[in-house]
Amino acid sequence: MVEESIQREAIEAAVHAVAERIEAEKTYLTELDSAIGDADHGANLHRGMQAVVEAIEDTDEEDPAALVKLVGRTLVSEVGGAAGPLYGGSIMSASTEFAEGIDTASTVAFAEAYLAKVEDRGGATVGDKTMVDALTPAVHTYKKSIEQDELPPLAALAKAVDAAERGVAFTTPIRASKGRASYLGWRSVGHQDPGATSTLYCLEAILDVATEYLDGEIDRDATSPTVPDESAEADGSPEGEE
Amino acid sequence: MIALVVVSHSEQAANGVAEVATEMGGDARIVPVGGDPDGGIGTSAPEIEDAILDAVEGPDGETADGIVVLVDLGSAVMNAELAIEMLEEDLEVVIADAPILEGTLNAAVSASSPKATLDEVLQRAEEARDYRKLD
């Protein structure tokens, strides 16, 4: 595992990258939210991430779990609506996975714990037209790429980002069953989900930062084969086939 | 003694619900909370956490044995759950699965008895789920 000071630097860089991306997209996110929600997602997340940047800059803390928890707690304090508890509360709760520091295995554990908390808190599952639709494919693809395909973390993260993008696209043609958009019923069909979209932006920003800290090739195609032919034949799985 | 916390997306709505309930259950301790951290429409976990602590302590120095939280919709539920998780003290706090106004009214009547237990107040609040407005 790399030194705590490098872990802190990477967390700080990731926080800045996410904050900048959300700032750049805040008007678009609010546009998406005004179609099927309460038109505050962009502004809310932007305010939250600005506060996170300040909180991280103001602390000398180097322990990665404590830093990530601070990110979550700050989002909970600053972001209203459902985004505060969903983003902030889930980050707070998953941060304990970094108790021993950030390495490949703990990032998989964090991703799984984060997804589980978002699902539990929001009561949403795949297909409800929520952030879960972007998060689930991303987390599943990341875990499988690391644990079964033994891809380097950077390659796994790139595939996860592509998986999230497919998840965001999936939210457009389906009817919302959770969140504010569900009150619109059939009128929600045809609109892209703002929470799934902001989830994708966060992941893309994190991937940008990861390329500076991790070695490896980027292949942003979640559907490209990752299992070598012989192992695919050995376990008889159809993965990698079109 | 059981106290109530009323969580709405609107601070005015939370105050109004508490006002209506107070008329019936005048002795119950009811702490309303609402609005997002920016003062807009929404809910905030830290503010709900503070409201729960206020409800426990109370203005008269009598500590509540438990808290029933009444919520309106969506993120109010999530933020109330998160607020309860964030409480550092070991407190008896439950969220009622009930309509906010009728639930608060029922709970206030029940909680105005100093002997009422957390389960009793919660049950009274949740009975409001079955109320019909017309026959």
Q: Quickly tell me which residue has 């987390």 as its tokens.
A: A139
**ipTM score for this prediction:** 0.82
Residue A51: partners with Cβ closer than 8 Å, 6 or more residues away? A74, A75, A77, A78
Rounded mean pLDDT, B5-23: 97
CB neighbours (10 Å) of residue A100? 12
SS3 assignment, position B33: strand
In single-letter form, the type of residue at position B128 comes to A
> How big is the A-B interface in CB pairs under 8 Å?
55
Share of chain A above pLDDT 70, in %: 93
**pLDDT tier for residue A90 given thresholds of 50, 70 and 90:** very high
What does the domain layout of chain A look like in residue ranges? 4-225
Cβ-contact A38, A180 below 8 angstroms: yes
What is the Cα A143 distance to its own chain's centre?
A: 13
Strand partners, B67: B3, B93
Which of chain B's residues have a Cβ under 8 Å away from the Cβ of A121? 78, 81-82
How much is the pLDDT for A220? 87
Looking at chain B, which residue has its C-alpha nearest residue A38?
B41
Q: In whole angstroms, give the CA distance from residue A179 to residue A166.
A: 21
Cβ-contact B68, B125 below 8 angstroms: yes
Q: In whole angstroms, give the CA distance from residue A114 to residue A86.
A: 9
Half-sphere exposure of B129 (CA within 13 A, CB side): 11
Q: Flag if B79 and A180 touch (Cβ within 8 Å).
A: no
Nearest Cα neighbor of A79 from A42, A54, A53, A116 is: A42
Strand partners, B34: B8
**pLDDT tier for residue A241 given thresholds of 50, 70 and 90:** very low
Does residue B9 or residue A227 have the better pLDDT?
B9
Q: B35-38: which pairs have CB atoms within 8 A and are 24 or more residues apart? A: B35/A80, B35/B9, B35/B10, B35/B11, B36/A44, B36/A80, B36/A81, B37/A77, B37/A78, B37/A79, B37/A80, B37/A84, B38/A47, B38/A80
Looking at chain A, which residue has its C-alpha nearest residue B39?
A80
Rounded mean pLDDT, A66-78: 96
Task: Give residue-wise pLDDT tens across range A210-232.
Answer: 999 998 888 889 888 765 555 54
Residue A100: partners with Cβ closer than 8 Å, 6 or more residues away? A1, A106
Backbone angles phi, psi at A13, to 5 degrees: -65, -40
CATH class of B2-130: alpha beta
Does residue A180 or residue A164 have the better pLDDT?
A164
Question: With DSSP H G I counted as helix, E B as strand and the rest as coil, what are the percentages for chain A, rounded to 5?
Answer: 70, 0, 30
Q: Flag if B38 and A38 touch (Cβ within 8 Å).
A: no
Check CB contact of A48 with chain B, cutoff 8 Å. Answer: no
Q: Flag if B42 and A86 touch (Cβ within 8 Å).
A: no
CATH class of A4-225: mainly alpha
Cβ-contact B2, B116 below 8 angstroms: yes
Which of chain A's residues have a Cβ under 8 Å away from the Cβ of B46? 76-77
Q: In whole angstroms, give the CA distance from residue A236 to residue A217.
A: 27
Check CB contact of A77 with chain B, cutoff 8 Å. Answer: yes
Rounded mean pLDDT, A150-170: 97
Statement: residue A22 has pLDDT above 80: yes
Share of chain B above pLDDT 90, in %: 83
Q: Which of A30, A33, A36, A38 would you mutate first to test chain B, the one with the most B CBs within 10 A?
A: A38
DSSP E strands: which ranges in chain A?
A: none
Cβ-contact A114, A71 below 8 angstroms: no
Please give the full DSSP string across A123-140, using - where no structure is assigned: ---TTSSSTHHHHHHHHH
Q: A138-143: which pairs have CB atoms within 8 A and are 24 or more residues apart? A: A138/A111, A138/A163, A138/A164, A138/A167, A138/A199, A138/A203, A139/A111, A139/A112, A139/A114, A139/A115, A141/A222, A142/A107, A142/A108, A142/A111, A143/A108, A143/A111, A143/A112
Does residue A2 or residue A138 have the better pLDDT?
A138
